[in-house]
């Protein structure tokens, strides 16, 4: 049950942070008295506390050793209370505190015999009320061996430690309670960056994972996994993740959290490969990145083997080798990108990697987590900007591509329409020449050449201002009027409130409807005036063009065409319909044809309403 409670506690911490009570006590009150101790170093596992007390072994002061630990060495520590005996008699219970060790046993007197209590992180299951400090070892004067000593047997297997950093103190119950039950301002100063870092990582993990699930882009997946393992590695002791996921600190949890250091770098490298698209944009860098990925994968396999075989020294050397490789490659990669970068994405990698590397190296040499937390926080914030920038650039590129695609498609459709218009005009000229109307054909040719020149001038642009479109329509109508002996009248008007010089429309977008009105409506009318009205007005974000004629109407026209077996849909209308569809992407209706009738239901012409988007 306690395991589930700790898991819930961890989730609560992640969800929003916990406010801890702060002690008003001075830091010095919480600090115990430092004790002198001597050390005997051996690799003999058969030495016991009894043999240690009965035989002569060389215990040396810590200061005289000046050496670093190795996983194969056993360290016997003799803590001497000779100068503290008088102080010890002033209280009934005291608490011994010592540096953290992977394996540790403390030996003391209990009921006139020597007892052992496990105190190592790999052995001592301590439900810590504090996320920073373990409870001290309770003892009194009767616990001292030979009236003045306590003995510790310790091993350091996880990493190489410096003996000079070891520290042993003792204090009162009040001092112990102040440490494990309350938080000083200094403690909160240590915890605040960690909780802030956790919050940053949680937000970044959720966002990048959500982006991956939405877009299936692997760079988001790899970055979310990188952030996840990073927060596990840097906060495992604060949130007691060893106990939550593995039940205790032990070989399995040690192996996992050691491997997580390599996994962090692995996901980071994979993220860089996909973020920069190194395969296409940086082929040389891509080869180096792939090599690093293989090295890291092989390192993970070796790390698992070394941990399972308890070859801790080999594992420490492996981790040091991995750090050297990543440091050298990181520096070389940053220099390469500074020189060869093709866009701003490379600078995000350089700046983010720089802060991450500085934090990692500071942690390695100072054993102070805050530097790594700050470096990683800056790196994550930088890449949050970098990922946002990349998404924005890809969105802009997508819009540009869509715009170009639309432009080319529009030009292609217009190119289909221009030959149709030219063919009809040449047919009209041919008709005039065959009919012997030389003067009319010359006028027609002159106007046709002028119209063609205007068309060629406007062919560079897909859109033209409304004034030019109206001018082209007027020239076309003049040609048609000449062709048919001015048998119809026309009028073009622009509503008040619409500035024809301020809006653009697709070139020749109206002409096919005008042509249909003339050929299929007006010219088939046998009696009465033949009138054509073309009106332009503004409505919201659209230009509305109305083409109204008083011809025979669609029904009668279709009946005549059916008799002539010529019911094929106009090519000009078909192409224009596609062009309108491209302009009015968000609209379902591009144009509307209304059959006009009188009170008796007799056809009186046709009204075409065209909707042209301006945005």
Tens digit of each residue's pLDDT (9 = 90 or more) over 115-150: 999 988 887 655 566 777 888 899 999 999 999 999
pLDDT at 79 (0 to 100): 95
76 — pLDDT class (breaks 50, 70, 90): very high
DSSP annotation string for 445-505: HHHHHHHHHHHHHHTTSSEEEHHHHHHHHHHHHHHHHHHTTT-SEEEEEE-TT--TTT-EE
173 and 278 in a single domain? The answer is no
173 and 192 in a single domain? The answer is no
Residue 458 in domain: no
**Helix then strand then coil, % of the chain, to nearest 5:** 55, 15, 25
pLDDT at 281 (0 to 100): 86
Residue 479 in domain: no
Tell me what the mean pLDDT of segment 261-278 comes to: 90
- Pick from 276, 397, 398, 288: which is nearest to 343 by CA? 276
Residue 440 in domain: no
Question: What is the C-alpha separation between 208 and 228, in angstroms, rounded?
Answer: 11
pLDDT at 554 (0 to 100): 82
DSSP code of 501?
T
pLDDT digits (tens, 9 = 90+) for 86-113: 889 888 899 999 988 889 999 999 988 9
154 and 263 in a single domain? The answer is no
pLDDT at 1 (0 to 100): 42
pLDDT at 36 (0 to 100): 92
156 and 222 in a single domain? The answer is no
241: number of Cβ within 10 Å: 21
208 and 339 in a single domain? The answer is yes
The alpha carbons of the chain give a radius of gyration, in whole angstroms, of 43
Question: What is the C-alpha separation between 488 and 288, in angstroms, rounded?
Answer: 78
pLDDT digits (tens, 9 = 90+) for 491-506: 999 998 899 999 988 8
Question: Domain range holding 110?
Answer: 32-181
Question: What is the C-alpha separation between 398 and 247, in angstroms, rounded?
Answer: 50
Q: Are strands 137-139 and 603-613 parallel, antiparallel or unpaired?
A: unpaired
pLDDT at residue 241 greater than cutoff 60: yes
pLDDT at 29 (0 to 100): 61
Which tokens go with 25?
């006590």
27 — pLDDT class (breaks 50, 70, 90): low
Question: What is the C-alpha separation between 105 and 102, in angstroms, rounded?
Answer: 10
Cβ–Cβ under 8 Å, residues 99 and 165: yes
Burial class of residue 269 (count of CB atoms within 10 Å of its CB; 0-12, 13-18, 19+): buried
Mean pLDDT of the chain: 81
pLDDT at 6 (0 to 100): 45
Number of residues in the chain:
615
Q: Which of 17-31, 80-94, 245-259 has the lowest mean pLDDT?
A: 17-31
Q: Is the pTM of this model over 0.75?
A: no
In DSSP terms, 266 is beta-bridged to none
225 and 266 in a single domain? The answer is yes
Among residues of the chain, what percentage have pLDDT more than 90?
23
Burial code of 525-534, b = ≥16 C-beta within 10 A, e = fewer? beeeebbbbb
- Pick from 46, 24, 48: which is nearest to 105 by CA? 48
Residue 407 in domain: no
Which residues, including other chains, have CB under 8 Å from residue 111's CB and lie 6 or more apart? none
pLDDT at 5 (0 to 100): 45
pLDDT at residue 568 greater than cutoff 70: no
Q: Which of 178-187, 449-458, 470-479 has the lowest mean pLDDT?
A: 449-458
172 and 250 in a single domain? The answer is no
DSSP annotation string for 181-199: H-B-HHHHHHHHHHHHHHH
Residue 422 in domain: no
pLDDT at 16 (0 to 100): 38
Residue 4 in domain: no
The domain boundary, picked from 335, 364, 397, lies at 397
Which tokens go with 502?
């301020």
Cβ–Cβ under 8 Å, residues 513 and 591: yes
274 and 385 in a single domain? The answer is yes
In DSSP terms, 606 is beta-bridged to 549, 595
- Pick from 237, 227, 216: which is nearest to 263 by CA? 227
Beta-strand (E) ranges in 99-200? 103-110, 113-118, 137-139, 149-155, 168-171
125 and 42 in a single domain? The answer is yes
236: number of Cβ within 10 Å: 19
Tell me which residue has tokens 């061996």.
145
Residue 87 in domain: yes
CATH number, residue 134 = 2.60.40.2380
The domain boundary, picked from 397, 431, 466, lies at 397
Residue 152 in domain: yes
165 and 241 in a single domain? The answer is no
21 — pLDDT class (breaks 50, 70, 90): very low
End-to-end CA distance of the chain: 63
Question: What is the C-alpha separation between 609 and 533, in angstroms, rounded?
Answer: 12
The domain boundary, picked from 134, 152, 181, lies at 181
DSSP annotation string for 379-419: HHHHHHHHHHHHHHHHHHHHHHHHHHHHHHHHHHHHHHHHH
403: number of Cβ within 10 Å: 10
* φ and ψ of 58, to 5 deg: -85, 100
- Pick from 165, 94, 108: which is nearest to 136 by CA? 94
CATH number, residue 595 = 3.30.565.10
Q: What is the enclosing helix (H) or strand (E) of 176? A: helix 173-181
The number of domains in the chain is 3
Which tokens go with 137?
């070892």
130 and 272 in a single domain? The answer is no
Cβ–Cβ under 8 Å, residues 258 and 271: no
207 and 193 in a single domain? The answer is yes
Q: Which of 217-226, 441-450, 472-481, 544-553 has the lowest mean pLDDT?
A: 441-450
């Amino acid at each position: 049950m306690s395991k589930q409670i700790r898991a819930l506690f961890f989730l609560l911490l992640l969800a929003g942070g916990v406010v801890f009570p702060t002690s008003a006590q001075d830091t010095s009150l919480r600090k115990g008295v430092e004790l002198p101790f001597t050390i005997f170093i051996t690799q003999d596992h058969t030495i016991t506390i009894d043999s240690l007390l009965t035989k002569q072994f060389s215990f040396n002061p810590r200061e005289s050793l000046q050496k670093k630990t190795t996983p194969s060495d056993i360290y016997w520590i003799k803590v001497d209370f000779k100068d503290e005996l008088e102080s010890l008699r002033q209280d009934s219970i005291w608490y011994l505190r010592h540096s953290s060790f992977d394996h540790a046993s403390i030996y003391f007197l209990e009921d006139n015999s020597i007892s052992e209590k496990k105190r190592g992180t790999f052995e001592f299951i301590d439900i810590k009320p504090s996320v920073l400090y373990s409870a001290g070892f309770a003892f009194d004067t009767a616990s001292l061996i030979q009236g003045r000593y306590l003995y510790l047997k310790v091993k350091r297997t996880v990493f190489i430690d410096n003996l000079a950093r070891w520290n042993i103190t003792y204090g009162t119950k009040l001092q112990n309670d102040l440490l494990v039950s309350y938080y000083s301002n200094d403690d909160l100063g240590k915890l605040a960056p960690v909780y802030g870092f956790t919050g940053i990582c949680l937000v970044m993990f959720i966002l990048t994972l959500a982006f991956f699930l939405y877009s299936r882009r692997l760079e988001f997946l790899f970055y979310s996994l990188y952030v996840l393992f990073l927060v596990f590695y840097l906060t495992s002791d604060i949130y007691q993740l060893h106990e939550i996921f593995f039940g205790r600190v032990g070989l399995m949890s040690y192996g996992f959290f050691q491997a997580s250091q390599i996994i962090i770098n692995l996901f980071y490298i994979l993220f860089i490969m996909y973020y920069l698209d190194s395969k296409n944009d940086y082929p040389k860098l891509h080869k180096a990145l792939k090599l690093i990925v293989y090295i890291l994968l092989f390192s993970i396999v070796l790390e698992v083997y070394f941990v399972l075989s308890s070859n801790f020294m080999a594992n420490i050397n492996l981790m040091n080798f991995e750090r050297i490789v990543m440091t050298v490659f990181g520096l070389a990669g940053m220099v390469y990108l500074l020189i060869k970068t093709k866009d701003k994405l490379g600078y995000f990698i350089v700046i983010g990697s720089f802060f991450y590397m500085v934090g990692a190296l500071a942690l390695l040499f100072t054993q102070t987590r805050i530097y790594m937390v700050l470096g990683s926080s800056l790196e994550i914030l930088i890449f949050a900007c970098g990922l946002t920038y990349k998404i924005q650039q890809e969105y802009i590129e997508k819009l540009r591509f869509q715009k170009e695609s639309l432009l080319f498609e529009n030009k292609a459709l217009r190119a289909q329409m221009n030959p149709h218009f030219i063919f009809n005009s040449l047919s009209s000229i041919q008709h005039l020449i065959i009919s012997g109307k030389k003067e009319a054909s010359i006028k027609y040719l002159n106007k046709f050449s002028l119209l063609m020149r205007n068309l060629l001038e406007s062919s560079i642009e897909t859109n033209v201002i409304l004034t030019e479109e109206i001018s082209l329509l007027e020239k076309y109508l003049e040609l048609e009027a000449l062709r048919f002996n001015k048998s119809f009248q026309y009028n073009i008007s622009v509503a008040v409130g619409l500035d024809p010089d301020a809006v653009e429309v697709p070139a020749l977008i109206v002409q096919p409807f005008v042509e249909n009105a003339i050929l299929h409506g007006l010219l088939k009318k046998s009696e009465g005036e033949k009138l054509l009205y073309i009106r332009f007005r503004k409505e919201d974000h659209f230009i509305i063009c109305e083409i109204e004629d008083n011809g025979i109407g669609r029904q009668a026209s279709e009946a005549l065409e059916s008799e002539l077996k010529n019911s094929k849909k106009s090519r000009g209308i078909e192409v224009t319909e596609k062009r309108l569809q491209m302009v009015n992407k968000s609209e379902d209706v591009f144009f509307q044809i209304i059959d006009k009738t009188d009170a008796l239901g007799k056809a009186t012409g046709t009204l075409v309403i065209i909707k042209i988007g301006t945005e």
